[in-house]
Amino acid sequence: MKKDRHQKPTRSTRTRLIIMFLTLTVCMFGLVLRLGWLQVIRGEEFQQMARRQQTSDITITPSRGTIYDRNGKELVLSASTNAVYASPGEIINKKETANRLANLLEIDEGELLDRFNNETARVITLKRWVDRSIGKEIEKIGFRGIWITDDHKRHYPYGNFASYILGHTNADNDGVAGIELRYDKHLSGIPGRWIKTVDRDGRQLSSSMEVYHPSEEGLGIVLTIDEVIQHITEKALGSAMEIHNPKRAMAVVMNVKTGEILAMAAKPDYDPNNPREPWSEEEEETLSSMTSEEQLDYWYSMWRNPLINDTYEPGSTFKAITAAAALEEGAASLDSEYYSDGYINVGGPPIRSWRYYDPFGHQTFSEAYRNSDNPVYVEMLQALGGEAFYEYIEGFGFFDLTGIDLPGETGSIIPSLDQVQPKGPEVFTRDLATMSFGQSFNTTPLQILTAYAAAVNDGILMEPQIVKELLDTEGNIVEEVKPRKVRQVISAKTSEIIRQISEEAMRLGNSQAYVPGYGVGGKTGTAQKLIDGHYPAGVVIGSFVGAAPMDDPEIAVITIVDEPRGGTLYGNTTAAPIAGEIFAETFRYLGIEPSYTEDEMDKIEEEEGIEVPNILNKTLKEAKALLSDSELDYLVVNEIFVEDESLVIESRPAPGEKVEKNSTINIHIERREQDEELLMPNLEGMSVQEVKRILNAMGLQLKVQGEGRAVNQDVLPGTAVVKETVILVEFR
């Protein structure tokens, strides 16, 4: 019997069909969901992954901004160099390329070949800071898969000069310390990009278009420091290191009225061009045996600016603050009289005068300041009271940071009033008493200088300032940092008394910081150094803080000699001479004429000195010879094109004045008249800084390639040029 061709499917068949349909529907729905997830939810992510696979993106390092002193001298600049990159997938003959590049880049051939055989890397950096002449040679050969881009290397033309202010950068041109770190975002500029389309092996596609976005140079920073005053300060510290062999010597020079830092230095220091080079051969041996973490700790301690990052017990330099507070509150006056037995009992062991074996006895307020008699200052603080004393500590800024624009500033370590007077104001403790003469607490050198400057600046506390302006690449001012008054701490009348007793202390005390004719006032200090909770015998910090001229203070200076060894250890014999040299040389450089008292004139006439020879209208070459014969040094202070045949038009001190042996004579030489058309000089063998000075003086612009000494210039010597011409000079 025949089957019915239109027989209905069985129930089981229908069930299987329904299950199959539902399964396909679910699968299709799942695929739609998955596709939506990939295209909508994660679409942007996959697009970025695709773009990364299909593009080669090289970062172009920007040139960091230049750092200048207050007079426009370049202290830090970026030398133009090249960076060499490779795309391993594009290199056809890797062995031959490695062989030819090895000598040019001074890299081992085997190392280059290993890097070329790296299958995972699309773009690799072969070498940065390559001399431009080498970069040109590589470009001329035309290696496939090898690219040359602009690069910039940070250069510190003065070596270790002002290193604790300037700081330095790392291999990636990021600021690590000093101004380089604090203003890194302003100096660093904006990186450029070189974008190319490549295949999966990193080979550039023939149909692709390259996009090149040049980098943008960072902002320039104009500092408040004066390059000449900084040199004067570092020279004085170097002499102190040789004479006293201390652990460290430090100094800061400040403009009293504005708070601008004119110089800041510490010795030993480091060279920002080679910041990991130890201070000595002995330390280099020790460093080599350290772990990587220990080495990093060593380097960071070497880069620390001790003038703002470290604290110390200020000793007797703090007595100016105690005296100012007592005068302002009426706890003392110029008419106050004291009697000292050489010691005073304030709980615990007696507090002694430095001359306890031969007490000063009866003293006036001024004499006690000059004698630096500790018991008198304890009496002064007792009359003032702890609460008022702490108000002035706060007023002079010791509970706050100074606010200077340098990284890592540390604050004072001062016990609270409750700690030094736990039983209340009716019990005067020994801890509080010792604070009157600068012990039992720690502060930074900059805080002491800032406070003393306020004490002699009619009582006005100024914020220390290290940055003056920010400039764009055209030299236009982007931001100006103006001096900032913090507060009025004491009255102008009290400040006048502090100036008077400070000047008398230096002049009548025969201080080695005193400079005849300049009215130097100040206070020396010799503080025992606290090490591991006790004060070892003979381990001290000698210090001086002062200002001049005291009739109208312009310059304030603090000098510190940490752990002087051998000879006398007092602040007047270790730190004060540094300040005296800084004051004398700075005022001569600034052209501030001395104003001698009658006593000073008589003393000068009695003392023998070297008479400054008449070098006026002499050539610089002749002047050098005359000064050398007289055992005198010289410094050309006006920024001009310096030649041996230039005529001397002024000297300070003037011819005929008496000076000490080896004194520096500041020379002004005749400015060379320049026509609109100039003859190009021969720059071969000169440093970047020397070339820059010459071209700036001629009104020409410099474009630097490489570093080292000048080896080539695009305008030949003797060629006529006009002002504002850009001169390309290669250095090696």
Contact indicator for 105, 126 with CB cutoff of 8 Å: yes
Q: What is the dihedral of CA 657, 660, 661, 662, to 10 degrees?
A: -90
Domain covering 677-731 in this structure, CATH number = 3.30.10.20
pLDDT in tens, 655-670: 888 787 778 888 877 7
Please give the single-letter amino acid code of residue 550.
M
| Residue showing tokens 């504002």 | 724
* HEC-encoded secondary structure of 218-286: CCEEEECCCHHHHHHHHHHHHHHHHHHCCCEEEEEEEECCCCEEEEEEEECCCCCCCCCCCCCHHHHHH
Q: Rounded CA gap, 706 and 708, in Å? A: 7
pLDDT range class, residue 393, cuts 50, 70, 90: very high
**pLDDT for position 365:** 95
| CA–CA separation, 421 and 132 (whole Å) | 68
Q: At 528, which amino acid appears?
A: Q
Distance CA 614, CA 627 (A): 9
Comparing CA positions, the residue from 338, 398, 348 lying closest to residue 371 is 338
Partners of 560 in the beta sheet? Answer: 250, 543
Q: Which pLDDT does position 373 carry in this prediction?
A: 93
CA atoms within 13 A on the CB side of 447: 30
pLDDT digits (tens, 9 = 90+) for 89-99: 778 888 888 88
Pairing verdict, β 701-706 and 726-731? parallel
Cα-Cα-Cα-Cα torsion 44, 45, 49, 50, nearest 10 degrees, comes to -30
Predicted confidence band of residue 676 (pLDDT cuts 50, 70, 90): very low
Quickly name the fold that domain 315-590 has.
Answer: Beta-lactamase (3.40.710)
- Residues with Cβ < 8 Å from 169, sequence gap 6 or more? 64, 154, 175, 176, 180
Beta strand pairing call for 55-60 and 192-197: antiparallel
Average pLDDT, the chain: 85
How confident is the model over 323-345, as pLDDT tens digits? 999 999 999 999 999 999 888 98
Residue 490 CA, distance from chain mean position = 31
212 — pLDDT class (breaks 50, 70, 90):
low
pLDDT tops 80 at residue 406: yes
Q: Strands 485-488 and 460-462, how do they pair?
A: antiparallel
Task: For residue 600, give both structure tokens.
Answer: 């000073």
**490-542 per-position pLDDT tens digit:** 999 999 999 999 999 999 887 889 988 899 999 999 888 777 777 777 788 99
User: Cβ–Cβ contacts within 10 Å for residue 217, how many?
Assistant: 19
Query: For the residues 349-362, what does the mean pLDDT come to?
Result: 87
3-state secondary structure of 164: helix
Q: pLDDT digits over 251-289, tens only?
A: 999 999 999 999 999 999 999 998 998 888 788 888 888
Q: How many CB atoms are located within 10 Å of the residue 677 CB?
A: 9
3-state secondary structure of 195: strand
Q: Are 233 and 80 in contact (CB under 8 A)?
A: no
For tokens 């009866």, the residue is 362
Task: In whole angstroms, give the CA distance from residue 115 to residue 132.
Answer: 23
- Where is 375: in which H helix or E strand? helix 374-384
The alpha carbon of residue 124 and the mean position of all alpha carbons in its chain are separated, in whole angstroms, by: 34
List the domain boundaries for the chain: 56-222, 315-590, 608-669, 677-731
| pLDDT tens digits along 550-596 | 999 999 999 999 999 866 778 888 999 999 999 999 998 988 888 88
Strand residues in 389-507 grouped as ranges (E): 460-462, 467-471, 477-480, 485-488
Give, in degrees to the nearest 5, the angle at Cα 634 between 632 and 637: 155
Closest CA to 305 of 171, 232, 402, 435: 402
Amino acid at 49: M
Contacts of 188 (CB under 8 A, 6+ apart): 62, 64, 173, 174, 175, 218
Q: Quote the pLDDT of residue 171.
A: 82
Q: Are the C-beta atoms of residues 76 and 141 closer than 8 Å to each other?
A: no
Provide the 8-state DSSP code for 441.
Answer: S
- Regarding the domain delimited by 608-669, which CATH topology (the fold level of the hierarchy) does it fall under? Trypsin Inhibitor V; Chain A (3.30.10)
Across residues 388-408, what is the average pLDDT?
A: 95
Q: Lowest mean pLDDT: which of 244-248, 265-269, 627-631?
A: 627-631
* The CATH number fitting domain 56-222, selected from 3.90.1310.10, 3.40.50.10420, 3.30.56.10, 1.10.287.3510: 3.90.1310.10
Task: Report the C-alpha gap between 211 and 498 in whole angstroms.
Answer: 67
* Domain 608-669 shares a fold with domain 677-731: yes
In DSSP terms, 480 is beta-bridged to 469
Helices marked H in 509-564 — which ranges?
Answer: none
In the chain, how long is the greatest CA-to-CA distance?
A: 154
Q: What is the pTM of this model?
A: 0.74
User: What is the reported pLDDT for 237?
Assistant: 94
